Amino acid sequence: MLTVGLTGGYASGKTTVAKELERLGCFLIYADKLGHQSLEPSGEAYGPTVQAFGPDILKADGTIDRKKLGALVFASPQELRLLNSFVHPAVYRVQDQLLHNFSHEQPNGIAVVEAAILIETGRYKRYDRLIVTACNEPLQIARAMARDGLTEEQVRTRLRSQMPVADKKSFANYIIDTGGTTEETLAQVAAVHAELRRFV
């Protein structure tokens, strides 16, 4: 099994690339989805998160209001580290189990883990290849505002909490420029996928 990390800046097109790789036959693990699951009332990170950040982050139904929590943690590196200390171990356990299962089911397959901060956490070292998605910052901001309903300043705060995309590129085996048309992005994904197939 070939393991591939997929990362990039906030709203830099990771999901578009991930979905196309999945369509092409790769096994995809979406770390953000696992993170969200860990913060659900039945999730491993729910209790510690509510205890640390207080009941103000809860909606009326008892679920965590991720926008409220995001506003808190992205404004403070210390608070973000605290949240990550609850969420990341839960995510890693599920990820590792999924990869283990897939390696037995498809030893000649390609498994891709899509995650925003693979490089910052050092987890990128666990993968055979690393793909970084990139586009210019104004486009990231516009995409994030449209997709997540955030203000420009909220988006900029999130961008500041991550390693600049220019720095991430230096770690990449493959860089996919998502600044053009969807068709241009998908063509790059197809070319990278063809390269990856050579290793399995």
Q: Given this model, what pLDDT does residue 156 score?
A: 93
What CATH fold (topology level) applies to the domain 2-197? Rossmann fold (3.40.50)
Among 111, 125, 115, CA closest to 2? 111
Residue by residue, pLDDT tens for the chain (200 residues) are 999 999 999 999 999 999 999 999 999 999 999 999 999 999 999 999 999 999 999 999 999 999 999 999 998 999 999 999 999 999 999 999 999 999 999 999 999 999 999 999 999 999 999 999 999 999 999 999 999 999 999 999 989 888 998 899 999 999 999 999 999 999 999 999 999 999 99
Give me the sheet containing 2-8, strands edge to edge: 27-30, 110-114, 2-8, 129-134, 174-177
Distance (Å) of CA 144 to CA 118, 157, 163:
20, 12, 17
Q: Which amino acid is at 119?
A: I
Q: 129 forms bridges with which residues in the sheet? A: 4
Q: Given this model, what pLDDT does residue 28 score?
A: 98
Q: Given this model, what pLDDT does residue 165 score?
A: 87
- Identify whether the C-beta of residue 174 lies closer than 8 Å to the C-beta of residue 129: yes
Q: Given this model, what pLDDT does residue 194 score?
A: 98
Q: Given this model, what pLDDT does residue 161 score?
A: 85
Q: Domain segments of the chain: what residues?
A: 2-197
Q: Given this model, what pLDDT does residue 162 score?
A: 87
